[in-house]
Chain A
Amino acid sequence: MSEVKSSQDEEFREYVAARSAALHRAAYLLTGNWATAEDLVQTTLTKTYLAWSRIRTTDSIDAYARRILYNTNASWWRKRSNREKPTEVFEDRADLSRDFTEHAAVRDAMWRHIAVLPKRQRAVLVLRYYENRSDAQIAEILGISIGTVKSQASRALAGMRKRLGTPASALGVAMEPREAA
C-alpha cells in the first residue's frame, strides 16, 4: 500500500514540476497579483492531489486542474470581492524607470483594465486569448453556457475598446469630471 502511495506521490510531484509554472501564469492573469496567484495554485494542487488516485490514469489531469483553478478563483471572488480594492489589485504597475514606450504604455493600460474587470469576464479573456480555448471549451471549464461566454467576452472587449480606443485614454490620460465650483 505504501509503495503504491509513494508511486502516486512521485507521479504527482512530476506533474507539479511540469505544470506548476503554467498554472502560476494562468493564476496570475486571473488574480492580478502574485501572492493570491500562489495561494490559488497551492489550493488547486491540494484539490488535485485529493483526486489524484482517480484522475492519474486519465488523459484529463490538466483539464481537471484547470477547472479547479478557475472555479476556485470564482468562489474566492464570491467570498472576497468586497475586500478587493483597485489599489490592491494593481501590484504590477508600469515601471517608470524604464523606457516608457508607447507599446509598454498601451500594454500597461490594457493590464490595468483587465485587473478591474469582473472575475468571470477576466476568466473568459484569459481562457480565450491566453490559453486559446474555444468558446465551447471555455463554457465547459467555467460551467456556463456558450452564450454567456460570448456575452461576457463581448462586454469585456467593448469596455477595452472604449478605454484603449484613443492614445490618450490608452495612456491613462482620462478626462476627469469637473469638480463642483
Chain B
Amino acid sequence: MNGDIEALLRSGLAEQAERAPATVDDPALADLAIAGAHRIRRRRRAAAGATGAGLLVLGAGAFVLQPLLATEDQGQLAADTSTSEVRNELGMEFLIQDDEGYQVINDDGDRVALVDYAPQDVYRLADAYLVVSAEEQTTELIGLDGAAGRGMSWPSEMTYNVVNSEATQFAMVTSNADYTEESYAINDAVIADRTTTIEFTTNFELTLADWSASTTVFTADLWSTTAGQEKRWFFDEQYSWNLESVGYAGYQSAVILDQQDPSFVCVADLEPGSGLAQVGEDCGRVDSPFVQEALGAAAVDEAAADLVDTAVAEFSGEGTQIYADSEPADLGDYEDQYYQAEYSQLDPSGRWELSYSRGDSTWILVDYTGDDPAVSILTPPEGAVMPVLDCRPPE
C-alpha cells in the first residue's frame, strides 16, 4: 500500500506543481529581490550605526566605528557572548564531551556526569535530566547531581518522548506497526526507588500535547468534520479514538484541540478508573460558555482550565514559543553560517535559538528575550556538543 501511496505522491505532486502561474518568468522578480536586498542593507547600516553610537559611550569605539566608516555594504555586526553570560542571563546549560564521557555544565557552572554514549537530546526537567538516544533507543532519567536514575529501552525505533508543561512527568510514546494507534506511558520525572507508570492507548489521529494529574490535552483534526460548529459530537464513538483508555488510566477529562484552529476544542468527560463518564464530546470555542461548562463538569480541579488555556495559547502561537511575539531575527553577515549549520536548537520557552555545527569554535545565538531578537556569536565551552533543552515553565 505504501508503494501505491508513494507512486500517487510522485505523480500527484508533479502534476500539481505543473500548474505553475504565468508570472514565474517575470523579469522584475530579480530586480525586486535586488532592490529588497539593498533596502535591508541600508536598514542594517542604520541599525549598526545607531547601536554603535550607544556603545561608543561605553568605550567600544574601535569595534563600533567600523560600520560607520565602511564604504562597502556591511551586514549587521554581532557582539560576542560568553558561556557564563548565557548561563547567567538565559539559564543555558550545555552538554559537553570529554575523556570521561558526556557531562552537563549546569547553570551554576558545575559539571554533572550523565552517560558514556552520545545522546540525541538532553532535557532539563524539574528535578532531573532526561537523556534521549535514538541510536541506543533508550530514554534515561538522571538526577540533577548525576545520581543514577531509570533507563528505559524503547519498545520500537519509532518511540519518542513528550514532557508535560510543568516538566514533572514525561511520556514514552509508541505507535503500533500499522500507525493506527499510539500507546503512552506516563512516568514521574523523579529519581525514586518506586515509581508508577500510567498507560493508555489512543487512536493515531490523536497526539498528546500536555497533561496534568486530572486532564489530558490532545490535538487532532476536528475542523474538517465540525467546520467549527458548536455542539456535542461523537468522535470517540465513530472514529474509535479510545478515550475510554484515558479514563481507565485515571484521568477525569480529555480535551482535544483542533490542529488548525486550536481555540476550537472538544471536551470529553471521563470516569477515572472506569472509562467514559458520558458518550460524546462537547465541542466549541474554548472561551464559550458551552465549552467552559463542559470543562468545569469534566474536571474537578480548577487547574484544568489553566492547562487548556495554556495549551491553546501555545498552539495558537500566542504562548511562550519562539517567534510568538517577535519579528524574525536579522542575521546580517551570519546568515550563511546560520543556514549552513548542522543543527538548530530552540529553547522550549522561546528565549533563545542556537544554530551550530559540532566542533565549530563559534555558534550563532539569537536572543529573543528583548524587544527585538538579538543575534550574537557565542563561544561555546570546550567540547560542547549541544545545549540542554530546559523544559521547565518560565519563572
Where the two chains meet, the residues of A that have a C-beta atom closer than 8 Å to any C-beta of B are: 9, 12-13, 15-17, 20-21, 24-26, 28-29, 34, 38, 41-42, 45-51, 54-55, 64, 67-68, 71, 75, 78-82, 84-86, 92, 106-107, 110-111, 114, 116, 118, 125-126, 129-130, 143, 145, 147, 151, 154-155, 157-158, 160-162, 164-165, 174-180
Could you name 18 residue pairs across A and B whose Cβ atoms are closer than 8 Å? A20-B25, A24-B20, A29-B16, A42-B36, A46-B33, A46-B36, A54-B336, A71-B339, A85-B223, A110-B9, A111-B16, A130-B10, A143-B343, A145-B120, A177-B234, A177-B238, A180-B231, A180-B234
A49–B38 CA distance with the chains assembled, in angstroms: 9
8 Å CB contact of B20 from A25, A85, A161: A25
A45 touches B15 (CB 8 A): no
Q: Nearest A residue to B223 by beta-carbon distance?
A: A86
B33 touches A78 (CB 8 A): no
Tell me whether B221 is interfacial, beta carbon within 8 Å. Answer: yes
Q: Nearest B residue to A44 by beta-carbon distance?
A: B33
8 Å CB contact of A116 from B221, B336, B341: B221
Cβ distance A145 to chain B, nearest Cβ, rounded Å: 7
A85–B262 CA distance with the chains assembled, in angstroms: 10
Q: A20-B29, A158-B178, A164-B5 are in contact. List 14 more A-B contacts (CB 8 A).
A: A12-B34, A13-B27, A16-B29, A17-B27, A41-B29, A46-B33, A82-B318, A114-B13, A130-B13, A157-B5, A158-B204, A162-B179, A174-B225, A177-B237
Going nearest first, the 4 A-B pairs with the smallest beta carbon separation are A158-B179, A45-B33, A16-B30, A25-B17
A25–B24 CA distance with the chains assembled, in angstroms: 9
B224 touches A125 (CB 8 A): no
- The verdict on A47 contacting B335 (CB below 8 Å), with A143-B344, A145-B134, A161-B5 known, is yes
Q: Nearest B residue to A54 by beta-carbon distance?
A: B336
A116–B262 CA distance with the chains assembled, in angstroms: 14
Cβ distance B340 to chain A, nearest Cβ, rounded Å: 8
> Which residues on the A side are within 8 Å of B221 (C-beta)?
116
B323 touches A78 (CB 8 A): yes
- The verdict on A51 contacting B29 (CB below 8 Å), with A24-B21, A126-B13 known, is no
A22–B21 CA distance with the chains assembled, in angstroms: 11
A81 touches B317 (CB 8 A): yes
A85 touches B260 (CB 8 A): yes
Within 8 A of A (CB), among B1-33: 1-2, 5-6, 8-21, 23-25, 27, 29-33
Within 8 A of A (CB), among B150-179: 158, 160, 175, 178-179
Tell me whether B233 is interfacial, beta carbon within 8 Å. Answer: yes
8 Å CB contact of B233 from A15, A129, A177: A177
> Which residues on the B side are within 8 Å of A49 (C-beta)?
33-34, 36-37
Q: Nearest B residue to A48 by beta-carbon distance?
A: B33
Task: Tell me the count of chain B residues lying within 8 A, CB to CB, of chain A.
Answer: 75
> Which residues on the B side are within 8 Å of A29 (C-beta)?
13, 16-17
A179–B280 CA distance with the chains assembled, in angstroms: 9
> Which residues on the A side are within 8 Å of B9 (C-beta)?
110, 125, 129, 160
A178–B232 CA distance with the chains assembled, in angstroms: 9
B224 touches A178 (CB 8 A): no
> Which residues on the A side are within 8 Å of B343 (C-beta)?
143
Cβ distance A101 to chain B, nearest Cβ, rounded Å: 13
A154 touches B224 (CB 8 A): no
A175–B239 CA distance with the chains assembled, in angstroms: 9
A42–B204 CA distance with the chains assembled, in angstroms: 38
Within 8 A of A (CB), among B181-238: 204, 221, 223-225, 231-235, 237-238
Interface bits B323-358 vs A (CB < 8 Å: 1, else 0):
100001000000110011111100000000000000
Within 8 A of A (CB), among B247-287: 259-262, 280
Cβ distance B328 to chain A, nearest Cβ, rounded Å: 6
> Which residues on the A side are within 8 Å of B224 (C-beta)?
86, 116, 174
A79 touches B317 (CB 8 A): yes
8 Å CB contact of A180 from B5, B232, B317: B232
- The verdict on A50 contacting B335 (CB below 8 Å), with A92-B16, A164-B5 known, is yes
A34 touches B21 (CB 8 A): yes
> Which residues on the A side are within 8 Å of B225 (C-beta)?
174, 176-177
Interface bits B307-330 vs A (CB < 8 Å: 1, else 0):
000000001111001110000100
B1 touches A161 (CB 8 A): yes
Centre residue among B235, B237, B344 by max chain A CB count within 10 A = B344
Q: Nearest A residue to B1 by beta-carbon distance?
A: A161
A157 touches B6 (CB 8 A): yes
> Which residues on the A side are within 8 Å of B32 (C-beta)?
42, 45-46
B259 touches A116 (CB 8 A): yes
